[in-house]
Structure 1
Amino acid sequence: MTAPAVPLVDSHCHLDRLNLEAHNGDFEAMMAATADAGVSHMLCIGVDLESFPQVQGLAERYDNVFASVGVHPLYKESREPQVAELVERAAHPRVVAIGETGLDYFYAREQRDWQQRYFVAHIQAARETGLPLVIHTRGAKDDTLALLREHGGGEVRGVLHCFTEDLDMARQAMDMGFYISISGIVTFRNAEALRETVRELPLERLLIETDSPWLAPVPYRGKPNEPRYVAQVAECVASLKNVSVETLAAATAENFFTLFNKAQP
């Protein structure tokens, strides 16, 4: 597709983990292709504390890249996050969010105790810093919402990223001030339930993302994902919302900078 006249924002990607084969291993070529696709800004997400320096380094190197700090709920091998360390690392001017954090009972149902402990630490860090949470939630609707209510105290905000849960969960999260981010999954043939949910979500609470290098949208499914493919996500979501790609791009970019208000466009 032709790049939209209005720039796109990839609200969730893992630039430190991209497969660069399509660019002969050249990171700068990947960044140029991303710009050519109309993507103006990216949020590079931290998944463990050990690799966080690389995430932070990318945000320091590129003016259009921001960073988050956190431990993914499937990364038990990471050093356990402590509130004080998360708060300290979040003080960096390029770090605009806490996470990726959350609960994943789909892949790790038997590991609830440590997942919940890690999640609470992130909630407390978000509450202390005032930064938004980037939440991964899968098969853990009730506990995710309950822990946010119990430990957030109505003082945390954020995004449910790569959303695949039901409309009721989205609405409960939005009632708490959260946004909903849609990934390339929305383009998959078997994702009609998600498409129905997206049709019902208010445009003013939507974000779009790639979650690259995973979950490449159609027509790139099965190939390494990249931030430039957020254009395909935008096209699909715009169609579901019955708006132009430019309208969708403008709304989701505004939503991004409203939520991640430490980031500067």
Structure 2
Amino acid sequence: MFLIDSHCHLNQLDYKIIHKDISDVLRKAYQKNVKLMLSVSTSISDYEVMVRNIGCRPEVIFSCGVHPVDVYHIKNFDYDKLKKFSCNKNVVAIGETGLDYYHSMSNIDIQKVVFRKHIAVAKDANKPIIVHSRNAINDTITVLHEEHAEKVGGVLHCFSEDIDSAKILLDMSFYISFSGIITFQKVDRFKKIIQYVPLDRILLETDSPYLTPVPYRGQENQPAYVYEIAKYIANIKKISLDNIAFITTSNFYKLFQIL
């Protein structure tokens, strides 16, 4: 069984110094038994560039959405294009979308409007949503509830909230995705959260090129390093790495309706 990087930004990796090209990234991932990755867009133009640069490859699938940090004005949000691209066969999810109050609180109302529109598109396309939430978990959960996002389901990526928030999301049939943050020092609270979240609701991600896990901190992140996250969770859950790979891969296939 192999590993899946459920959330990365392949078009944002360093192809000048660290990697020769996308094939080089995939080769390095394959060496760590990472054989599939979901490349997540942060804007409509980002999606277009991502698809153009990466092309059609069996190891890569895509999402389409607008990151809340990139939402400055409702006029900048191309709803029609999002709806159009959501129907593409290579798009398995809508997002990433959500709320981010860490980087900006001046556009909160716009963020909420756009978040709701993403959920509407996801419902129309019958595809899950990839949710970003930073310093905004209460409002994020409120919007998910009000828009009945449980009808399509989804994942809260790069989970860094508490057990209470995890419980609410799990009750809504959402998945929890863990990134390299869990390997950082002085974050022992993650151990309790990882122990709490059922194995059949866990996804693994790198969020490449960000949040590089130990022992590679200080370097640019890449999909190959999802191996370290899997190993860390396997240790906490006291199961084998093969079991983590099997379970999280099955979870990914189920959520994103991959046959």
Please indicate, yes or no, whether the TM-score normalized by the shorter chain is above 0.5.
yes
Greater mean deviation of Cα atoms: 80-89 or 167-176: 80-89
Alignment of 1:6-25 (within 5 A): 6-20=1-15, 21-23=17-19, 25=20
Shift of 1:96: 0.4
**C-alpha distance in 2 between matches for 1:86 and 1:162:** 23
Shift of 1:154: 4.0
**C-alpha distance in 2 between matches for 1:83 and 1:54:** 18
1:120-157, Cα deviation, whole Å (9 max, x unpaired): 11011111111000000111111111111111264230
**Structure 2 residue 52 is the aligned partner of structure 1 residue 36:** no
1:24-74, Cα deviation, whole Å (9 max, x unpaired): x33322211111110010000010011211223356421121000000011
Is contact 1:82-1:121 (8 Å) kept? no
Aligned to 2:179: 183
C-alpha distance 251-138 of structure 1, shift in aligned 2 (>3 A): same
Identity of aligned residues (%): 38
Aligned to 2:137: 141
Which of 225, 243, 251 is residue 229 of structure 1 equivalent to?
225
Aligned to 1:3: none
**Structure 2 residue 162 is the aligned partner of structure 1 residue 160:** no
**C-alpha distance in 2 between matches for 1:59 and 1:93:** 15
Aligned to 1:217: 213
Shift of 1:175: 0.9
**Structure 2 residue 147 is the aligned partner of structure 1 residue 151:** yes
Greater mean deviation of Cα atoms: 180-189 or 85-94: 85-94
**Structure 2 residue 192 is the aligned partner of structure 1 residue 196:** yes
**Structure 2 residue 76 is the aligned partner of structure 1 residue 47:** no
Which of 93, 98, 113 is residue 97 of structure 1 equivalent to?
93
Aligned to 2:56: 61
SS in 2 for 1:22: coil
- TM-score, normalization: structure 2? 0.94
Structure 2 residues without counterparts, runs of 5 or longer: none
1:224-263, Cα deviation, whole Å (9 max, x unpaired): 00000000000001111111111001000000000000x3
Aligned to 1:122: 118
**C-alpha distance in 2 between matches for 1:138 and 1:95:** 24
Moved over 3 A (4+): 57-60, 77-84
**AA of the residue aligned to 1:61:** C
Structure 1 residues without counterparts, runs of 5 or longer: 1-5
Is contact 1:66-1:96 (8 Å) kept? yes
SS in 2 for 1:96: strand
Is contact 1:97-1:133 (8 Å) kept? yes
Greater mean deviation of Cα atoms: 79-88 or 139-148: 79-88
Is contact 1:60-1:94 (8 Å) kept? no
**AA of the residue aligned to 1:243:** I
**AA of the residue aligned to 2:48:** P
SS in 2 for 1:102: strand
**C-alpha distance in 2 between matches for 1:87 and 1:110:** 26
Aligned length: 257
- TM-score, normalization: structure 1? 0.92
**C-alpha distance in 1 between matches for 2:70 and 2:167:** 28
